Structure 1
Amino acid sequence: MAVIAADGFEEIELLGPVWYFKQLGAKVDIVAPKYNPAPERYGLTYPEMAKTHIMAIQYLQPVGWIKFDRTADQIKVSDYDAVFIPGGAWNPDNLRNDKDVIKFIQDFNKSGKLIAAICHAPVVLASADILKGKKLTGYWNIQVDLKNAGGTVLEQPVVTDGNLITSRHPIDVAEFSRAVETWLVKK
């Protein structure tokens, strides 16, 4: 399974499901966009760690770093049976601006393999333009974006529609993780 995340992922939405999937015996790769710092003229500095790690948050507060295994420009659809995108307020914005991430999601969707996204992460799927005619859910403040992308938003903890599983909030992590397991076991 590929877990695609960037700086600003919600810690429990990545670590909870990843722990669960590993307990089930899944091989999990944390995949991040290729390191691409802002231009020097912006005056921003990045820790050396940002080249190999992504920053976790808990409700907008930075809480640490997690090492990633690969970058989005290094992966291909045939490497994985499923892709999972955790939420977090910043993570999806960082992902949806990355051409390698968007192309991978589009290609993965064409394969019919599982794409799972929780909380704010479904906006990445909107940017990949794969939501037309799909039923899904997401965090309350992105629901209008999901509708504008052609999806039908349902207010429930987890929604499965074909190869797409979405969830709306950190409190739904356990139910979301079990839905991913159920989908994968059926295949």
Structure 2
Amino acid sequence: MSKKVAFLVAPEGIEQVELTEPWKAVTDAGHDAVLVSTETGTVQMFNHLDKGDTKDVDVTVGSATVEDYDALVLPGGVANPDALRTDDVAVSFIRDFVASGRPVAAICHAPWTLVEADVLKGRRVTSWPSLQTDIRNAGGEWVDEALVTDGNLITSRNPDDLPQFCGAVVESLEHGAAAASA
């Protein structure tokens, strides 16, 4: 049965491979991927600091509801989650998604949005190393592992971890987030 996955991003600053690789994994597994952003139009992806491709937005986060989706993927890049965490509607969407128990997958710098949504108390997560103090200050336990699953949260450190991250996202669609770490 096909599931619907929201990929939430800001208008620019998305690390391209952290959007395109999970997107491909989700669609290759027969599920529907939906690009959700804070603005209509297109988003600008980056290959580290160099401009990459653009992608059309399917729906704005203001018109999206948690109930419309089976999972949420939060790609990284430094500027993308930094912009998202200053958008109250995006932060509320993330907070509500985590509270729903549906899988939420965040890679690299994307756990900044989980910090802002105040959903990390007592949770074990990983991220890009520079976020570890923010995660700890938010009540989370930061670990340096390629893939960490804690309840419905799936986190990875960086693009090198994409094979494990993508596998966990697809597994969570089939069997729930907790199964992604098994």
Within-5 A mapping of 1:172-183: 172-183=161-172
Q: Distance in 1 between matches of 2:160 and 2:70?
A: 26
RMSD between superposed Cα atoms in Å:
0.9
Q: Distance in 2 between matches of 1:183 and 1:110?
A: 16
- Provide the residue aligned with 2:179 in structure 1: none
Select 2:16's aligned residue among 11, 15, 25. 11
| Larger Rg computed on CA atoms | 1
2:22–2:169 contact (8 Å) kept in structure 1: no
Q: Distance in 2 between matches of 1:18 and 1:182?
A: 14
Query: Residue by residue, what CA displacement relative to the aligned partner does 1:76-110 show, whole Å, maximum 9, x if unpaired?
Result: 01100100000001000111011111111111111
2:19–2:75 contact (8 Å) kept in structure 1: yes
**Matching residue's letter, 2:29:** L
Q: Which runs of 5 or more structure 2 residues have no equivalent in the other structure?
A: 177-182
Following TM superposition, the consecutive aligned residue runs of length 4 or more in structure 1 with deviations greater than 2 angstroms are none
Deviation at 1:64, TM superposition (A): 2.7
Q: Which runs of 5 or more structure 1 residues have no equivalent in the other structure?
A: 35-50
- Provide the residue aligned with 1:29 in structure 2: 34
Q: Normalised by the size of structure 2, how large is the TM-score? A: 0.91
Q: Normalised by the size of structure 1, how large is the TM-score? A: 0.89
Deviation at 1:167, TM superposition (A): 0.4
Q: Distance in 2 between matches of 1:92 and 1:77?
A: 19
Query: Residue by residue, what CA displacement relative to the aligned partner does 1:34-86 show, whole Å, maximum 9, x if unpaired?
Result: 3xxxxxxxxxxxxxxxx501111111221231111011101001100100000
Q: Distance in 2 between matches of 1:186 and 1:121?
A: 23
Deviation at 1:184, TM superposition (A): 2.2
Point out the more displaced range, 141-150 or 153-162.
141-150
Determine what percentage of the aligned residue pairs are the same residue: 40
Q: Distance in 2 between matches of 1:115 and 1:62?
A: 27
